[in-house]
């Protein structure tokens, strides 16, 4: 997989709770900070107090390989009970070329909700882009490694949301 392909990863889970309950959790930008992934703090910007199309928020992230960094994201999909997504602005804060696009998709399923969480990398410039530029012969390996890291975080977030929603 190459960066130019817009690589991504995701996972889904059944949550024994109504989509409205699950929506309340996934549209709260602080929820993922509770599950030990890279995102450890998030707060709304520019006077926003909650999710709305176009609202922006800062995310503070860290991992053992990349250290710590901040991002500014913008809500790009806001359909209560169905979908919540945000674009991470590129290194220049460019939402036309986001570093990544994250999403949650919800659908009623039996006694609860089918919840999918996913990410697509690019097309904006990121630390991964810089690493690939420095070692182009390792591009597929670097992209696969990063996607694996992100998928582990996605799965932890899904499990955490499921536990919260079902409690």
- SS3 category, 65: coil
CA atoms within a 13 Å half-sphere pointing along the CA-CB vector of 47: 0
Percent of the chain, pLDDT > 90?
A: 78
**3-state DSSP assignment of residue 127:** helix
Query: Residues 81-106: what's their mean pLDDT?
Result: 90
pLDDT at 24 over 70: yes
pLDDT attached to residue 100 = 95
Amino acid 67: pLDDT: 87
Domains and CATH numbers, the chain: 3-166 (3.30.530.20)
pLDDT per position as a tens digit, 123-149: 888 889 899 999 999 999 999 999 999
Tally: H helices and E strands in the chain: 3, 7
Residue predicted with more confidence, 41 or 67: 41
Kindly state the average pLDDT of the residues 153-166. 97
**Most confidently predicted of 26-40, 85-99, 104-118:** 104-118
Question: Do residues 11 and 158 lie in contact, with contact meaning Cβ atoms separated by under 8 Å?
Answer: yes
- CA distance linking residue 106 with residue 19, whole number of Å: 7
């Amino acid at each position: 997989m190459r960066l130019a392909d817009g690589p991504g990863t995701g996972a889904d889970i059944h949550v024994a709770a109504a989509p409205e309950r699950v929506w309340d959790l996934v549209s709260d930008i602080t929820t993922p900070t509770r599950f030990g992934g890279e995102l450890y703090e998030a707060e709304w910007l520019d006077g926003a107090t909650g999710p709305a199309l176009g609202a922006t928020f800062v995310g503070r992230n860290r991992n053992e390989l990349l250290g710590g960094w901040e991002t500014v994201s913008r809500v790009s999909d806001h359909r209560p009970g169905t979908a919540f997504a945000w674009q991470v602005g590129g290194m220049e804060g460019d939402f036309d070329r986001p570093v990544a696009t994250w999403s949650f998709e919800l659908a009623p399923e039996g006694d609860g909700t089918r919840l999918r969480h996913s990410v697509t990398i690019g097309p904006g410039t990121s630390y991964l882009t810089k690493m690939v530029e420095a070692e182009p012969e390792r591009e597929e390996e670097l992209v696969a490694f990063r996607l694996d890291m992100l998928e582990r975080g996605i799965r932890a977030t899904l499990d955490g949301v499921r536990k919260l929603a079902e409690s």
